[in-house]
Structure 1
């Protein structure tokens, strides 16, 4: 038997200075803005670290905006978000839920703090990922996957170590509910103090962790604290995590899409011409209609 090589840490990245998206989402953009790292197929990571929002009658949020060429994945830890899009989908993302929206050929979208949460106020913590689509799928039909906490695929770790929630991909035979266009592993590792987990990803997969809560030790050597991003090397396969206190780790790993990227605002395409087409289509109302 060949010994599995450890996937080493490339960098531990501190959360960049936050900025507001609309008036409802205070986010740290780890990439592509904060750090120039290649995490393909993940194009963008906005991390909304824990913040207290005061009670408010008029919900905070982001008004109608378009997307084309990629998927948005929203993962909720605290607070609740109500959203709606131009294909008729709407819903509420509660703590523990995941919303996986395939914008693909184009939709309009809006998202606001859910009404009851807004009226009460309280802690708010979310992650939004933009997942790139390969060229052949960029103009496919928009779709929507809502994964509720109650339906999450779960692997329970031994010795009361906690659990791995599998959003997408496969952890030790437990398959996540999200369908993906390219190979993606996306988990919430919820570890109890002293809990340990071993993860394995192909050497060429781009891999990173967001420490959502707590403090962990990685590969038996490196301590990493809450709100840090761990960027791994593209070598080796195995990663070990030990929770030094009750912790939550968002785990992302995926096979890179080796295609050119052109981004303009909420459009993520392969060529300049496709960006011009997206703008033209949007201006002509081809993304549908959504009331402000």
Structure 2
């Protein structure tokens, strides 16, 4: 389920990676919610926006995180920018994604997914829909650290060892 449509407009995450960490209290009562027509179900918006409902999560790059619950035969349509990557996790039930079957525990991944995604529930379903603009930067991961180069990983370990990440008082 991939396409090859590409665009070069990207958001820079590198500029924000050394920002101070912060906690976000994202509770159900703060999430935007859209009740779908014809008793199809609902979409809770954790990040991004869907049909005017906005999620409370603050992000450095453009992402959407939707908690979707569909009743049997319920339908929902999403429109994403063509350059976004998309992941759809089926947590419960059976669905059709643009006519292709997916079942519980399936993860559909789309690169440059295009603008429209049609989902129809074959049975009661619970989905997690994740969409984001590619950051188009090198990624190096080691242990708990994710950086852009091996040198930055080494610096992160040195900073951690020297206490620059802070400490917890006894």
Task: Provide the alpha-carbon RMSD of the alignment.
Answer: 1.8
| TM norm structure 1 | 0.53
- Aligned residue number for residue 243 of structure 1: 121
Cα distance between partner residues in 2 of 1:213 and 1:181: 30
SS in 1 for 2:114: coil
Cα distance between partner residues in 1 of 2:122 and 2:28: 25
Deviation sequence 1:11-69 (CA, Å, 0-9, x none)? 9xxxxxxxxxxxxxxxxxxxxxxxxxxxxxxxxxxxxxxxxxxxxxxxxxxxxxxxxxx
Cα distance between partner residues in 1 of 2:168 and 2:94: 42
Q: Please tell me whether residue 275 in structure 1 is matched to residue 153 in structure 2.
A: yes
Cα distance between partner residues in 2 of 1:291 and 1:227: 41
- Aligned residue number for residue 9 of structure 2: none
- Which has more strand, going by share of residues? 1
- Aligned residue number for residue 132 of structure 2: 254
- Which has more helix, going by share of residues? 2
How many aligned positions are there?
162
Structure 2: tracts of 5 or more residues without a match: 4-11
- Aligned residue number for residue 86 of structure 2: 207
Cα distance between partner residues in 1 of 2:73 and 2:92: 14
Return the match for 1:287 from 162, 165, 168: 165
Structure 1: tracts of 5 or more residues without a match: 1-8, 12-132
Following TM superposition, the consecutive aligned residue runs of length 4 or more in structure 1 with deviations greater than 4 angstroms are none
Deviation sequence 1:206-234 (CA, Å, 0-9, x none)? 11100011111111x21100000011242
Deviation sequence 1:114-136 (CA, Å, 0-9, x none)? xxxxxxxxxxxxxxxxxxx8111
Q: What displacement does 1:273 show?
A: 1.6
- Aligned residue number for residue 147 of structure 1: 26
Return the match for 1:184 from 40, 60, 63: 63
